[in-house]
């Protein structure tokens, strides 16, 4: 179900993400702090405040080792239909999602 | 001999038992979870004061609590699998253990002797003695088809007859766990109750166990007077064919509100409160509201319903009049209005406001704020009146 939905869009999305990825450097420290707060409290309501898992799985670097930053950012932006994982696109820009994905891959303790 | 012993005891006991403990009833006390700092505060709802702060309780995101039947001890269920017994008259942790990897709430048995915890990781229910938290039973959930993991368990409640009821998220089941003989739990499993049950509740009379489904329309209803009839789907046509909105925080069914013969519950993926006639479980109305409802709570007298919302609308609270079904007040107490708790007879409601680091107290008659108490990133508020209510 998930693949069916995302495959047709994959290339397009990946492309826009890579292009907009150039803008990552533009995320201000204030906005970074807001994103971390969001991660802790709002992602945290399903993934645990320490990202160790809840209704949604743990968001730990071991899990994402083989994920590209782009795939991770796409999951955040578009969610996963048919599951409770909602799309965050309305609240997070693509560069912000890439930045968050990078933090998750590095392993972050929000 | 006996007399000298008594004299010694008289001198000893004040030192050991009441060092800094309060000598008073607990009927007007409660706790608030400070989820970011792993602490709780003990609250006095009559004086609007903080009595104690208890630290060292681990990861309290999504933490909840139940009370011993004497109203003295709070059992806290932390996200990190921590189970803590806190003496609210002394502000101390009596006992704390980490019983699982990742837990999601618990329940206390009808007779108060057993505390059950529902775990995401590894999925299942563990049951402990309420006295000393020693293990009594370990009930693993159904393994997933992929093998290594067990289904997550959700919606654990106590039920009359020394039973617990719980649902399985991944495998779509409801189980009744009979603990009449603590050494030999009897489990009754109902499969195919519906897709992705995410939370459940038991009606205040302890008769109906109702599970919310994320993966499909409707709810699953189990009549605990007649469990042999099995669960059935109710409200399955609700919102059929309508596109669902994304849900940024799962609604909680625990606070399912009942006023007279009507029940009010949060819709999932729709910005609505559903009104259900409990005599035949049919939908009588849908009330459009401000966002995705999280808690839909009835004032104890059933005259008002108070609602809070999921991100990005979690700065708003609305109040519905249960007679006219109209929204009588909408207000913005601050970002992160996470939880509400009524005083036992409903003259006040206490609301935790995460981003303001405070609890706000409202008069439910005037709908105006009357008090504010400091609390660090407060979430759940639990008053001792829960000690005497099934399912809480």
Tokens read off for B324: 């006219």
Band (pLDDT 50/70/90 cuts) for residue A108 is: confident
Q: What is the dihedral of CA B97, B103, B108, B109, to 10 degrees?
A: -110
Residue B348 to residue B44: CA distance in whole angstroms: 13
A chain contacts of residue B215, beta-carbon cutoff 8 Å: 82
Q: What Cα–Cα distance (Å) separates residue B166 from each residue in B24, B110, B175, B209?
A: 36, 15, 5, 9
Task: Tell me, rounded to whole angstroms, the distance of Cα B329 from its chain centroid.
Answer: 25
Our count of domains for chain A comes to 1
Q: What is the mean pLDDT of residues B150-156?
A: 95
Which residue out of B216, B246, B353 would a mutagenesis test of the A interface target, given it has the greatest number of A Cβ atoms within 10 Å? B246
Give the pairing of strands B282-288 and B293-298.
unpaired
Topology of the domain comprising B99-247: Methylamine Dehydrogenase; Chain H (2.130.10)
Q: What integer best gives the mean pLDDT of chain B?
A: 92
Spatial neighbors of B6 by CB under 8 A, at least 6 apart, are none
Q: How far is B168 from chain A (nearest CA, A)?
A: 11
A49 closest CB neighbour out of B61, B215, B249: B61
Residue B121 has pLDDT above 70, yes or no: yes
Residue B302 to residue B227: CA distance in whole angstroms: 28
Residue B27 has pLDDT above 70, yes or no: yes
Tokens read off for B362: 């409202």
Across the interface, whether the CB atoms of A46 and B249 are under 8 A apart is answered yes
Distance linking the first and last C-alpha atoms of chain B: 47
Which value does ipTM take for this structure? 0.84
Across the interface, whether the CB atoms of B79 and A79 are under 8 A apart is answered no
Spatial neighbors of B11 by CB under 8 A, at least 6 apart, are none
pLDDT tens, position by position, B224-250: 999 999 999 999 877 777 788 999 999
Containing structural domain, residue A7: 2-106
What was the pLDDT predicted at A4? Answer: 43
Residue A3 has pLDDT above 70, yes or no: no
Are B66 and B392 a contacting pair, CB within 8 Å? yes
Residue A69 to residue A18: CA distance in whole angstroms: 10
- Looking at residue B91, the DSSP 8-state letter turns out to be T
Q: What Cα–Cα distance (Å) separates residue B273 from each residue in B74, B86, B296, B308?
A: 31, 35, 8, 11
Q: How far is B40 from chain A (nearest CA, A)?
A: 16
Across the interface, whether the CB atoms of B102 and A48 are under 8 A apart is answered yes
Band (pLDDT 50/70/90 cuts) for residue A25 is: low
% of chain B residues with pLDDT over 70: 94
Spatial neighbors of B65 by CB under 8 A, at least 6 apart, are B31, B33, B40, B74, B75, B76, B77, B380, B382
Which residue out of A46, A47, A52, A87 would a mutagenesis test of the B interface target, given it has the greatest number of B Cβ atoms within 10 Å? A52
**What global pTM score does this model have?**
0.90
Which phi and psi (to 5°) does residue B380 adopt?
-65, 140
SS3 state of residue B320: strand
Which residue out of B33, B79, B198 would a mutagenesis test of the A interface target, given it has the greatest number of A Cβ atoms within 10 Å? B79
What was the pLDDT predicted at B387? Answer: 97
Spatial neighbors of B162 by CB under 8 A, at least 6 apart, are B109, B110, B111, B114, B178, B179, B180
Residue B118 has pLDDT above 70, yes or no: yes
Residue B361 to residue B41: CA distance in whole angstroms: 15
CATH code for position A65: 1.10.760.10
Nearest to B304 by CA among B288, B326, B319, B289: B319
Band (pLDDT 50/70/90 cuts) for residue B274 is: very high
* In A1-110, alpha helices (H): 2-21, 29-38, 44-47, 61-64, 69-78, 94-106
Are B325 and B287 a contacting pair, CB within 8 Å? yes
A55 closest CB neighbour out of B59, B198, B215: B198
C-alpha angle B110-B115-B118 in degrees, rounded to nearest 5: 115
Across the interface, whether the CB atoms of A86 and B248 are under 8 A apart is answered yes
């Amino acid at each position: 179900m998930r693949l069916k939905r995302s495959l047709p869009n994959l290339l397009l999305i990946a492309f826009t993400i890579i292009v907009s990825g150039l803008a990552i450097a533009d995320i201000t420290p204030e906005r970074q702090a807001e994103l971390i707060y969001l991660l802790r409290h709002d992602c945290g309501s399903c993934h645990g405040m320490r990202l160790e898992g809840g209704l949604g799985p743990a968001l730990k670097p071991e899990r994402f080792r083989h994920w590209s930053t782009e795939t991770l950012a796409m999951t955040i932006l578009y969610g996963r239909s048919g599951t409770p994982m909602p799309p965050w696109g309305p609240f997070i820009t693509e560069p912000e999602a890439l930045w968050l994905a990078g933090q998750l891959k590095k392993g972050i303790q929000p | 001999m006996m007399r000298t012993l008594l004299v010694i005891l008289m001198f000893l006991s004040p030192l050991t038992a009441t060092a800094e403990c309060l000598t008073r009833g607990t009927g007007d006390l409660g706790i608030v979870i400070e989820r970011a700092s792993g602490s709780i505060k003990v609250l006095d709802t009559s004086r609007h004061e903080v009595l104690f702060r208890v630290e060292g309780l681990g990861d309290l995101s999504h933490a909840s609590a139940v009370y011993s039947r004497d109203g003295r001890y709070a059992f806290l269920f932390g996200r990190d699998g921590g189970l803590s017994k806190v003496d609210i008259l002394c502000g101390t942790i009596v006992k704390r253990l980490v019983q699982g990897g990742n837990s999601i709430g618990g329940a206390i048995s009808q007779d108060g002797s057993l505390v059950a915890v529902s775990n995401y990781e590894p999925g299942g229910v563990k049951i402990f003695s309420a006295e000393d938290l020693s293990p009594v039973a370990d009930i693993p959930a159904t393994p997933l088809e992929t093998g290594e993991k067990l289904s997550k368990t959700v919606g654990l409640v106590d039920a009359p007859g020394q039973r617990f009821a719980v649902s399985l998220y991944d495998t779509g089941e409801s189980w009744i766990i009979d603990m009449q003989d603590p050494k030999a739990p009897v489990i009754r499993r109902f499969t195919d109750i519906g897709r992705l049950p995410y939370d459940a509740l038991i009606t205040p009379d302890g008769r109906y166990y109702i599970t919310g489904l994320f993966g499909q329309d409707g709810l699953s209803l189990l009549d605990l007077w007649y469990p042999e009839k099995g669960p059935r789907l109710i409200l399955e046509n609700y919102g059929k064919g309508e596109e669902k909105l994304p849900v940024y925080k799962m609604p909680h069914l625990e606070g399912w509100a009942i006023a007279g013969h009507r029940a009010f519950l949060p819709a999932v993926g729709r910005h609505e409160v559903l009104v259900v006639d409990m005599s035949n479980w049919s939908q009588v109305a849908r009330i459009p509201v401000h966002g995705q409802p999280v808690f839909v709570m009835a004032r104890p007298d059933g005259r008002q319903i108070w609602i809070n919302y999921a991100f990005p609308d979690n700065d708003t609270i609305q109040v519905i009049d249960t007679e006219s079904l109209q929204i009588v007040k909408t207000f913005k107490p601050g970002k992160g209005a996470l939880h509400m708790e009524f005083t036992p007879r409903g003259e006040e409601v206490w609301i935790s406001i995460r981003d303001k680091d405070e609890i706000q107290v409202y008069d439910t008659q005037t709908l105006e704020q009357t008090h504010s108490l400091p609390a660090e990133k407060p979430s759940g508020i639990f008053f001792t009146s829960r000690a005497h209510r099934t399912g809480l």
